[in-house]
Amino acid sequence: MVALIDGDAHAATMPNFQHLIFVCTNQRDAAHPRGCCNPDGANEIRNRLQAEIKQRGLAPLARACTAGCLEQCELGPTLVIYPGDSRPPIWYGRVRPSDVTRIVEETLIGGRVLEDLHIPPDWLNTRGLGPPGDGANPQPAPRST
């Protein structure tokens, strides 16, 4: 069998990603009960992230990728940041294009989680209802503009 990539040589010349960011750009009909993260199809969050990463010289070790539905629609627009080490992914919801600079500066560069955007692990895959067992589990209020 022939190896396509020499593992040792590849590791020496190709550093791992420091951040892989998946941005939901899913579009749905406006009447869909779950909503969607990219209603106008402009991909503005992903495009701004990509531009800011490039402008700050963080590429290619940080990359903003287009993703389909990340299944957190009720908390959208959503994105998930996979640090390039063993830390768990960081989920952000209710993201606005104007949040992109903060995400880059605070999270990608500074290593800090933005609490106002953070989706806690026990909220994932709850369709915006939050963890069970604590009462009404109201869907969080939409962010003010």
If the CB atoms of residues 32 and 112 are measured against ligand FES, the closer one turns out to be: 32
If the CB atoms of residues 39 and 83 are measured against ligand FES, the closer one turns out to be: 39
* 3-state DSSP of 68-133: CCCCCHHHCCCEEEEECCCCCCEEECCCCHHHHHHHHHHHHHCCCCCCCCECCHHHCCCCCCCCCC
Distance CA(91)–CA(118), nearest Å, equals 6
Using the rule CB under 6 A, is 76 a contact of ligand FES?
Answer: yes
Per CB under 6 A, the segment of 39-47, 69-77, 113-121, 125-133 that binds ligand FES is 69-77
If the CB atoms of residues 37 and 49 are measured against ligand FES, the closer one turns out to be: 37
Using the rule CB under 6 A, is 23 a contact of ligand FES?
Answer: no
If the CB atoms of residues 69 and 109 are measured against ligand FES, the closer one turns out to be: 69
- 53 in Cβ contact with 17 (< 8 Å): no
Give the number of other Cβ atoms within 10 Å of residue 79's Cβ: 29
Closest contact distance (angstroms) between CB of 118 and ligand FES is 15
Report the interface residues with ligand FES, using CB under 6 A.
Answer: 24, 26, 36-37, 69-73, 76, 78
